[in-house]
Amino acid sequence: ETGKEWRTLKTGDVIFGFEAQNKTVESNRISYPTSRYRYLRVRVFADELTDKEAPVIRAVKVMMAIREKGEQMTWNVAVPPYQLLRNQGAPASAWIIDLGGRVPCDRLTLEVGDESFSRTFQLEEVDDPQNVRLLASGELTRRVGGQRQPLVITFDNEEYARKLRLLINDYSNQTLSISSIKGGAPARQLIFELKEADGQPLRLFFGKPKATAPHYDFEKELPARLALAPPPPARSEVGAVINNPDYKPEPLPLTERIPWLIYLVLAASSIALAMILISLARTTLRTKPKQTEGSEFQAGSG
């Protein structure tokens, strides 16, 4: 409200609420462009098909959300040799991309040297060859005379994967010349407080999937501390990754340490079962003639 007239910020949105089969579905939130007006008027109209009168507004809450652009991290991935195959009956090329570890990833950035092309593609997660999952599909295009911008393949959802297969349908064209591949994902931040400033160098241990979450008190206090607008935390980068000499992996199951043992047990069980069956068969064959002779003797004596 400007003091003289009302201006429309948003109209046409639908709010609803109904219950069926002991389940309730409700939607009563409406978003509108950011404004600095002091007064807002909310008007709700009845549905012509279902409502006899307009719903009564009992309370209104106004909220403001601030969305900041996240930080995207990228890393170089080795370009593997491509494989020639057929996909959907057409010639195609496939690259098995190793991300270097099972890491979060939501996009791939490709540098392609070809001037122009238009190829359909599929991107699959192939960590488990028996359970291949489709992550993205579409078309890679570049027009003649256009800028040679990197090609970005965005996943439908962020995935944790190590091996990806990029499958591009070539049809009667030459295989695309991919010169570089980069993985990308939203940045993860690890914020910690140094009790002693001279505790250098810092070491970060990772790679234990069964580790439990620590739930430090510092974690709960951090938002309030950052809200006080102190100097931002100093940033550091991870150096070279080295193996931990003190790490002792958990022993593998016996079947994995001695894989041939299961076959030996199965073979021994099969032999023992065969011997039991042969013994039963011999006993049965020996018993039948005696039963036949006894029957003939009884018939003769009668």
Determine the pLDDT at residue 223: 80
Instruction: List pLDDT tens digits, range 70-89.
Output: 888 999 999 999 999 999 88
- Do residues 182 and 141 lie in contact, with contact meaning Cβ atoms separated by under 8 Å? no
Determine the pLDDT at residue 299: 45
Determine the pLDDT at residue 174: 94
Determine the pLDDT at residue 293: 54
Phi, psi dihedrals of residue 257, rounded to the nearest 5°: -70, -35
Distance in angstroms between the alpha carbons of the first and the last residue of the chain: 122
Q: Where are the beta strands (DSSP E) in the chain?
A: 16-20, 23-27, 72-77, 83-87, 90-112, 117-125, 133-142, 151-169, 178-186
Instruction: List pLDDT tens digits, range 241-273.
Output: 788 888 887 787 777 777 788 888 889 999 999
Q: Is the pTM of this model over 0.85?
A: no
Parts of the chain with a pLDDT under 50: 296-302
Look up residue 190 and give its two tokens.
Answer: 């690890």
Beta bridge partners of 110: 151, 181
Instruction: List pLDDT tens digits, range 174-208.
Output: 999 999 999 999 988 888 888 777 667 788 888 77
Phi, psi dihedrals of residue 142, rounded to the nearest 5°: -155, 130
- Do residues 183 and 75 lie in contact, with contact meaning Cβ atoms separated by under 8 Å? yes
Taking phi over 0 as left and psi of -120 to 50 as alpha, with beta for the rest, 88 belongs to left
What does the mean pLDDT of the chain come to?
84
